[in-house]
Amino acid sequence: MAFGKMNKDKIIEDFRDMIRIRTVSVTDPKKLDREAYIAFRKLLLTRFPNLYREADVFSVAPAGILYHLRGQSAEKPSVLMAHYDVVPVNAKEWTHDPFAATMEEGRIYGRGTLDTKSTLWAIVEAVENALSSGWRPKNDLYLSFGGEEETHGETTANIVKYLKGKGVRPAFVLDEGGAVIPEGLPGFHQKAAMVGIAEKGTANYMLYLRGKAGHASTPPKMTAAARLAKAAVRVSEYRFPTRITSPVRQMFSALAGETSFPVSQAFANADRLAPLIGAAATFAGGSLRAMVKTTAAVVILEARSAFNVLPSEAAMGVNLRLLPGETVESGAKHLQKAVRDKEIQVSLIDGTNPTPISRTDGPAWETLRKVVGEVWPDAAVVPYQLNGGTDSRYYHEISDYVYKFSPMEMTAAERATVHGVDESISVRNLLRTFVFYSRLLEEL
Ligand SMILES: [Zn+2]
């Protein structure tokens, strides 16, 4: 393993300095701390001189930074992704200053220590270190860093547009996503490295119902507000079709290879057991259900007038998480069917379709498996489908090999601090992420 002139204290200080820069992404551009964004990009350009010298560096509006390291061949380019924006904090709830990067008992505390300045840091440190020991990539390598992931900005879409325009077809893309789960999964008592190979879509709809205005003393049987409330219950109870998508099937069979009877029997027969698993999923109500169904959340209900006036319009906002195979349009049809009221108008506000499913039958997947296996020899590599969205969804347009995996161990307690309170990472874990990327670079 090429560790070059790596200085552990120096690289940990780099990480802490990244955490100290308050790149908090907010939807209101007036509240954005532009200075922090500039400072972060400046840190990248000044602390990693080999990378700066060897790579072409592009700023991609509004908040992207793209490095291009030329390899001996441009035929099978790879892309390593991360984002440097973080979600806001409620500092009062934290036991440590969320932007001080306090180190205590082998842990570093701060917003972004897990999501995901850690992977960004590990990528640039690994590349910098490898370059300093004479390494050059076999194939073209791009580092694709966004600053608007948390607010669904257009940075990464713009980076992909740029690459597409240059005819770049990545043979390997790695972004945040799953992680190494030390405690394993239910019925599967082994470490699992969860690698996302597809993402559900997400779409927001408004449903409108116009009623007759009038005095509340002579109401119709149901006001617009009451009818829409009934529709809200119907949307919540609607049975979206259950489907075992390819990523979920692959997840079951990866687990089947590792687990013991009788769970393995159930997983190994996932195809025939699909209806049963679907029923179980409905009962579970948790993430298994979300894996095999489109889910609906009624998030807005509006109908406002005065106590003595009938509301002339009622509106409801629904967020759908669309299973691969559905689209934002088919989601609207499901909603129209769910409400059983033809006068309710369903209109799509915004949304993204589910991603295509990345391939797991080629050298890209084998490379990832191999390197994960070397760094976490006791973990099974398990493909799965993400419920949430990452910036890598844009890359599916130009690559069939987009993997969503944060190469670090995250316990359930640690995962709960992502977007939450007291986000922190152990130095040991952080250094292992660095080792992962260092090892990966040798393969790219
Ligand atoms: Zn993230």
pLDDT tens digits for range 82-139: 999 999 999 999 999 999 999 999 999 999 999 999 999 999 999 999 999 999 999 9
201-352 adopts what CATH topology?
A: Alpha-Beta Plaits (3.30.70)
Centre of ligand 1 from the C-alpha of residue 87, in Å: 9
Cα 149 to ligand 1 centre (Å): 7
Q: How far is the CA of 313 from the centre of ligand 1 (A)?
A: 38
Ligand 1 centroid from CA 391, angstroms: 8
**Could you state, in order of their start, the residue ranges of all structural domains in the chain?**
8-197+356-441, 201-352
CA separation, residue 155 to residues 57, 187, 258 (Å):
15, 40, 40
**Residue 11: both structure tokens together:** 């690289």
CA of 146 to the centre of ligand 1 (A): 10
| pLDDT for the residue numbered 190 | 74
Q: What are phi and psi of 382, to 5 degrees?
A: -125, 115
**d(CA 192, ligand 1 centre) in Å:** 20
Q: C-alpha angle 196/188/273, rounded to 5°?
A: 75
CA 273, 275, 276, 280 dihedral sign is positive
Averaged pLDDT, groups of 10, the chain, 444 residues long: 69 97 91 94 95 96 96 97 96 97 97 98 97 95 96 94 98 95 70 92 96 81 92 97 88 68 56 54 58 93 87 94 96 98 96 96 97 94 87 97 96 90 96 97 95
Indicate the SS3 state at residue 144: strand
pLDDT at residue 283, rounded to an integer: 45
Q: At a CB cut-off of 8 Å and minimum separation 6, what does 74 contact?
A: 139, 140
Cβ contact 149:55 at 8 Å: no
Distance 166 CA to ligand 1 centre (A): 27
| Predicted local distance difference test score (pLDDT) of residue 285 | 45
Measured in Å, residue 150 CA sits from the centre of ligand 1 at: 7
Handedness of CA 41, 155, 74, 143 (dihedral sign): positive
Q: What is the pLDDT of residue 251?
A: 83
pLDDT value, residue 192: 86
Q: From ligand 1's centre to the CA of 62, what distance in Å?
A: 18
Whether domain 8-197+356-441 has CATH 3.40.50.2300: no
Residue 313's closest CA among 218, 207, 232? Answer: 207
**Which pLDDT belongs to residue 262?**
53
Distance (Å) from CA 198 to ligand 1 centroid: 16
- Encoded tokens for 55: 């790579």
Pairwise CA distance, residues 69 & 136, whole Å: 8
Q: Output the DSSP codes for 232-286.
A: HHHHHH--PPP---HHHHHHHHHHHTTS-TTHHHHHHTTTTTHHHHHHHHHHH-S
Question: How far, in Å, is the centroid of ligand 1 from the Cα of 194?
Answer: 15
pLDDT at 213: 76
- The CA 367 to ligand 1 mean position distance, Å, reads 23
Does the pTM of the predicted model rise above 0.85?
Answer: yes
